[in-house]
Structure 1
Amino acid sequence: MPATETFRIPTHRCHVPTARHHVHKALADWGITGELADRATLSANELVTNAVSHCRVSSARVRVTLILCDRELALEVSDPDRDRLPLPRHPGPDEEGGRGLAMVAALADAWGHRQGPYTKTVWARFTLTPAEATRVPDRP
């Protein structure tokens, strides 16, 4: 049975560190540390930053979900601005932003997005190595 952790934050940049902290803690509670935890936490930071920066629905909340099932970790970030889909950019060397999705693509084994009836979800998947999988404690 997969382990799942879900939490919500307001769509404001000041809450991005809170999301990063929740992700890091959930991963540590599951025994996921080291490089995989760093890649997943950095990916969460980028996806949550994008969600809070681009969501145009007033009083919205961003939902972050982590799912650990066998040898795969899934990270999902959802917001109610379902029609504003993520588009990778190719920023110039002097631009400060626009590299988040490229970072997620480099850090995750796969990433993408899907639209629901009222939300969009941007997801990233990470494959645990056999050594990482054996360190994860049994889940109820």
Structure 2
Amino acid sequence: MLATETFRIPTRSQHVPTARHYVRKALADWGITDDMADRAILSANELVTNAVTHCLVSHARVRVTLVLYGTELVLEVSDPDRDRLPRLRDPGPDEEGGRGLALVEALADTWGHRQGPYTKTVWARFTLTPGAVAGVPDRS
């Protein structure tokens, strides 16, 4: 089973809940509503928050793409500020931010980023349990 959902939001913090809503809806439409959905939604929240916070391109839009292929779910968040690459931080206990990528690293099976000609994309991959998604056979 291959399924893809893509949407765009403005680079404004008030649109982060909209992104969470779209991710939650796409996952629910695919039958993913368990702990994996929570992990993906929280990861999307962190990656979208980073994109809207750190993108310095005026009037930009953030693109969020979800791809479900068999038992693999890929979340991608792209923005046009291609040269501001993400990096893990080790914030002090009194710092309010800086923990988003560490959280994504803990929630996803793997994550990374890539630069395109005009964008950068930060992605996270999750492995679903076979049979957890409609159309994905349970081989047990």
Q: What's the TM-score once normalised by structure 1's chain length?
A: 0.95
SS of the residue 1:76 aligns to: strand
- The share of aligned pairs that are identical, in percent, is 78
Deviations 1:80-125 (A, max 9, x none): 0000000110000111100000000000000000000000000000
Q: How does 1:86-125 map to 2 (within 5 A)?
A: 86-125=86-125
More helix by share: 1
Deviations 1:32-87 (A, max 9, x none): 01100000000000000000000000000000000000110000000000000001
Task: Please report how far the alpha carbon of residue 129 of structure 1 lies from its aligned counterpart in structure 2 after TM superposition.
Answer: 1.0
SS of the residue 1:124 aligns to: strand
1:71 aligned residue:
71
SS of the residue 2:74 aligns to: strand
2:3 aligned residue:
3
2:60 aligned residue:
60
Task: Please report how far the alpha carbon of residue 136 of structure 1 lies from its aligned counterpart in structure 2 after TM superposition.
Answer: 2.1
Deviations 1:4-34 (A, max 9, x none): 0000000000000000000000000000011
Q: What's the TM-score once normalised by structure 2's chain length?
A: 0.95
2:44 aligned residue:
44
Let me know the Cα RMSD of the aligned residues: 1.0
Q: How many Å separate the matches in 1 of 2:135 and 2:8?
A: 25
Q: How many Å separate the matches in 1 of 2:24 and 2:31?
A: 11
Aligned length: 136
CA contact (8 A) 1:30 1:137 kept: no
Task: Please report how far the alpha carbon of residue 137 of structure 1 lies from its aligned counterpart in structure 2 after TM superposition.
Answer: 3.8
Task: Please report how far the alpha carbon of residue 131 of structure 1 lies from its aligned counterpart in structure 2 after TM superposition.
Answer: 3.5
Q: How many Å separate the matches in 2 of 1:86 and 1:49?
A: 12
1:136 aligned residue:
134
1:83 aligned residue:
83
Task: Please report how far the alpha carbon of residue 130 of structure 1 lies from its aligned counterpart in structure 2 after TM superposition.
Answer: 1.8
